[in-house]
């Protein structure tokens, strides 16, 4: 008998957080699922950690590194359910996550995908802020083409996933964003208002996005959505964003990102200054200095400044 849900998780060198991620899925209140884990060419202890579990619901695909989109497509290709629940190897699902999303899609046949809000944490598991996503279909689709979901929080219908063309493997970044935009014409979108997971923000090349980079990336995403292809120059640019993953810039922008969230979303000026100092030690820029002085303002004044800068 086929499972009611297929949970799909790709792993690439994720041994630091992998136990927590796997445990959070295996300990769900809803039990009737398969857990397809794709080891995408990890060179750390990820594969050993996966092998340490003795749970019949786990299905392992062990492949050479081919990227997130390819790994997810391969996992979904062997899945036995029409309900696909995404999960990432550095996040933590709350025990009732799968149950609540399955019940929603089972009762609402005109909805094709449901995500949720999440408690945002940093690389060390410290609370940063709660997400505040749009909930209703019209509000969510008004955000498009920007991403309306936290990708590892979503559950969607597999038949619609294939109608929308799967994850685009030619995209090295923003594969989920292209998919969601293509899915929009096939049915309704929703987010569950409560936090159903902890979503971990880690230093990535994506932290190093200035306005110029964002503008070009958005153009590439638009072409991918409309034409299902991108140019060779686009591919080269996307590849450049995924290289130098241990660069100083990556960590400087990461700490600046956290500092802003501690000021705008969760008034914690001391934690903001702690991250701004780390950013300044890595790379001296005017922006961290500006926010360092801002961090000494009252919460009310910071909120007014945030509204003015939006």
Which stretches within 5-157 are classed as H helix? 18-26, 46-51, 68-77, 97-107, 137-143
Q: How far is CA 277 from CA 108, 123, 192, 249, in A?
A: 48, 17, 36, 14
pLDDT tens per residue across span 42-93: 999 999 999 999 999 999 999 999 999 999 999 999 999 999 999 999 999 9
pLDDT confidence of 104, banded at 50, 70, 90? very high
State the Cα–Cα distance between residues 260 and 67, nearest whole angstrom.
30
Task: Enumerate residues 6+ apart whose C-beta is below 8 A from 67.
Answer: 40, 169, 172
Residue 35 CA, distance from chain mean position: 18
Q: Domain coordinates of the chain in residue numbers?
A: 5-200, 203-242, 246-310
CATH number of 5-200: 3.90.550.10
What average pLDDT score do residues 250-272 get?
Answer: 89
State the Cα–Cα distance between residues 276 and 254, nearest whole angstrom.
10
Which of the residue ranges 22-26, 102-106, 192-196, 250-254 would you say has the lowest mean pLDDT? 250-254
Rounded to two decimals, the pTM is 0.90
pLDDT confidence of 213, banded at 50, 70, 90? low
Task: Enumerate residues 6+ apart whose C-beta is below 8 A from 144.
Answer: 180, 181, 184
pLDDT tens per residue across span 16-50: 999 999 999 999 999 999 999 999 999 999 999 99
State the Cα–Cα distance between residues 139 and 159, nearest whole angstrom.
24
Which of the residue ranges 53-57, 117-121, 244-248 would you say has the lowest mean pLDDT? 244-248
Mean pLDDT score of the chain: 90
């Amino acid at each position: 008998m086929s499972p009611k849900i297929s949970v799909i998780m790709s792993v690439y060198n994720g041994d630091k957080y992998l136990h927590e991620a796997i445990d959070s899925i295996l300990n769900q209140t809803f039990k009737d699922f398969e857990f397809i884990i794709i080891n995408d060419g990890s060179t750390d202890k990820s594969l050993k950690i996966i092998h340490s579990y003795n749970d019949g619901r786990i299905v392992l695909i062990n492949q050479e590194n081919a990227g997130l989109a390819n790994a997810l497509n391969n996992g979904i290709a062997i899945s036995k359910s029409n309900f696909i629940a995404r999960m990432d190897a550095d996040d933590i699902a709350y025990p009732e996550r799968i149950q609540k999303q399955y019940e929603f899609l089972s009762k609402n046949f005109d909805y094709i995908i449901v995500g949720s809000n999440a408690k945002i944490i940093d690389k060390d598991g410290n609370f940063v802020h709660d997400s505040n996503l749009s909930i209703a279909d019209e509000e969510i689709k008004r955000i498009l083409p920007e991403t309306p979901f936290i990708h590892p929080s979503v559950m969607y219908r597999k038949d619609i996933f294939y109608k929308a063309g799967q994850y685009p493997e030619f995209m090295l970044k923003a594969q989920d964003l292209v998919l969601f935009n293509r899915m929009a014409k096939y049915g309704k979108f929703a987010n569950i208002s409560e936090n159903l997971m902890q979503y971990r923000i880690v230093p990535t090349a994506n932290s190093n996005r200035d306005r110029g980079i964002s503008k070009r990336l958005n153009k590439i995403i638009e072409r991918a959505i409309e034409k299902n292809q991108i140019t060779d120059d686009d591919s080269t640019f996307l590849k450049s964003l995924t290289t130098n993953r241990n660069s100083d810039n990556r960590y400087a922008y990461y700490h600046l990102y956290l500092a802003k969230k501690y000021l705008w979303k969760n008034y914690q000026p001391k934690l903001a200054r702690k991250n701004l100092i780390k950013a300044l030690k890595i790379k001296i820029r005017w922006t961290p200095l500006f926010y360092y002085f801002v961090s000494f303002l009252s919460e009310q004044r910071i909120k007014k400044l945030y509204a003015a800068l939006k």
